[in-house]
Structure 1
Amino acid sequence: MTTTTAEDLREEVRRRYAESARAVTEGATGSCGSGSCCADGETDASSFGEALYEAEQRNELPGTAVLASLGCGNPTAVAELREGETVLDLGSGGGIDVILSAKRVGPTGTAYGLDMTDEMLALAQRNVAESGVRNVHFLKGLIEAIPLPAASVDVVISNCVINLSTDKATVLTEIARVLKPGGRIGISDVVAEDRLSPAERAERGSYAGCIAGALSVSEYVAGLEAAGFEEISVSFTHQVADGMHGAIVKARKTESPESKGLPVIQPAQTAGCC
């Protein structure tokens, strides 16, 4: 029996998203099936991709950015981005959410896109150039090791990418690290009902199809709490398979006493110590 490792799964995801980027570049609609998120026909096509964006938003974007949309939601619609903020999109793909974010935060703000796939990064750069936005920077890397300094980002968004990671605890910890105290997340992801075991999730679709690796609601909440988040909510938006849903995940990084303007209480010194 062949054992599938975490690196095998990551390479499968990388390969299939690279194929999708090449297909869009060559004028097709994608090679992962019309349903986006590289689904294999296990899920309804209308649950993923460009259909989840308003026509007005799609009209703001280059056509290839829309065609390359592989997500399960629209995180820019829920992240409440503000002028001048710094936003990071994890798994930025063809750049649709980075471009929309850059427009929302304006010229005084910054939008970063992080992706591990060369083909997607090249497509995204082309789409950004066509869109005319200037406040965008793309980074190559893994969402488990974000190449940005600590406390450098106001908002982290992501569109159906965290479910693809094989080390979600590290991803959530990394998100907390790069966020400023009080910073927030607005994430679209596939999330399972608590009644489904990991094996039952895997029966409903593949890992690269954004199904088998999905967290349950309680797992998502526990992971965010462990990473230092508060005000956590996980809200289902639409069903993508039996017991599996597109969802909006929101939370805020716990603020330090200093950021709240509160005095920092130092531990009492023991007599004769140090």
Structure 2
Amino acid sequence: MSETPPSEDSSPDRDADAQRRLVRERYADIAIDDGGTSCCSDTAGSADACCDDSMGTDSERLGYAADDIEAVAKGADLGLGCGNPKAIADLEPGETVLDLGSGAGFDCFLAAREVGEEGQVIGVDMTPEMVGKARENVEKNDATNVEFRLGEIEHLPVADRSVDVVISNCVVNLSPAKAQVFREAFRVLAPGGRLAISDVVLTASLPDAVREDPDSLAACVAGASPIETIERLLDDAGFVDARVAPKDDSAEFISEWDDERDLSEYVVSATIEARKPTSERA
């Protein structure tokens, strides 16, 4: 068994600004291309397998129900995640939800259906092209309780103690400052609020060729952290009842992310859950 390495917030070979620039450029291109670099595209080496109808759509394979996919107007689901955060969020009518790295808005629009007209959903994304696309999708989905804000998840444009639930779908791994992301999530959550994230976690040492590859970083691989690191960062931020649960069935789609190697040997999708105490620690 490979030894799981320690993980710092950012690669020692790449500064934080350069890392953010790589990610921003990749997802700007995706927004412009309507998800053209996702699994089901000519640029993906495993497009034939990915798009086989017998295997379901990209989003169905990530854990979304067909009803969810059909409920959101075309253009919001870019097939870019690694799970379904709504499935673990247990959203209630009237709650305020914050989506970190909201992209074109798919998870926000699904959350909006759960919280109803009395609730609110806020999406934050650092890519202007994605925010613009998401705002266009608000009208397409008649989502009057959804708004999108331009900003970094390490510096959220959201007030203290103003949201009930923080969700995210395969975005925290892209951050060069994960500790700051969790501190910000803790700050904006109301006491008793909860974190419900789908992301990738590191299970074995990455080959140098993958770890140092800019494309692997922006493609949700090279920035993954071990479970122990995520748990420590959550605890340091002040969260309680932290639980990181790998999803073994994610190997099926992660193995298709790279033509040259099986990335499921190194990373796996996981659910990340935690809660802000009803009374904060001194």
Report the secondary structure of 2:36's partner residue. Answer: coil
Correspondence list, 1:159-238, <5 A: 159-193=169-203, 195-196=204-205, 202=211, 206-237=216-247, 238=250
1:179-229 deviations in Å (ceiling 9; x for gaps): 011110110000112x43695972797100100001110000000000001
Does residue 1:92 correspond to 2:102, yes or no?
Answer: yes
Report the secondary structure of 2:18's partner residue. Answer: helix
Residue of structure 1 in register with 2:277 after alignment: 254
User: Contact 2:94–2:117 at 8 Å: present in 1 too?
Assistant: yes
Correspondence list, 1:1-274, <5 A: 4-24=14-34, 30-34=35-39, 49-51=58-60, 52=62, 53-66=64-77, 68-193=78-203, 195-196=204-205, 202=211, 206-237=216-247, 238-239=250-251, 240=254, 241-256=264-279
Gaps of 5+ in 2: 1-12, 255-263
Cα RMSD of the aligned pairs, angstroms, is 2.7
Gaps of 5+ in 1: 25-29, 259-263, 265-274
Q: Judge which range, 46-55 or 8-17, deviates more.
A: 46-55
Gap change, CA 1:7 and 1:47, over 3 Å in 2? farther
1:221-248 deviations in Å (ceiling 9; x for gaps): 0000000011111111222221311111
User: Contact 2:39–2:46 at 8 Å: present in 1 too?
Assistant: no
Matched AA of 1:146: L
Matched AA of 1:196: S
Report the secondary structure of 1:134's partner residue. Answer: coil
Gap change, CA 1:57 and 1:179, over 3 Å in 2? same
User: Contact 1:90–1:161 at 8 Å: present in 2 too?
Assistant: yes
Matched AA of 1:229: F
User: Contact 1:48–1:72 at 8 Å: present in 2 too?
Assistant: no
Structure (1 or 2) with the larger CA radius of gyration: 1
C-alpha separation between the residues in 2 aligned to 1:167 and 1:42? 31
Report the secondary structure of 2:33's partner residue. Answer: helix
C-alpha separation between the residues in 1 aligned to 2:68 and 2:147? 21
TM-score, length of structure 1 as denominator length:
0.83
* Higher RCO structure, 1 or 2 (CA under 8 Å, sep 6+): 2
Shift, 1:91, TM fit: 0.3
Matched AA of 2:85: P
1:47-82 deviations in Å (ceiling 9; x for gaps): 99523221110010111112x231111101110000
Gap change, CA 1:218 and 1:18, over 3 Å in 2? same
Shift, 1:254, TM fit: 2.0
Residue of structure 2 in register with 1:272 after alignment: none
TM-score, length of structure 2 as denominator length:
0.80
- Give the % identical residues: 42
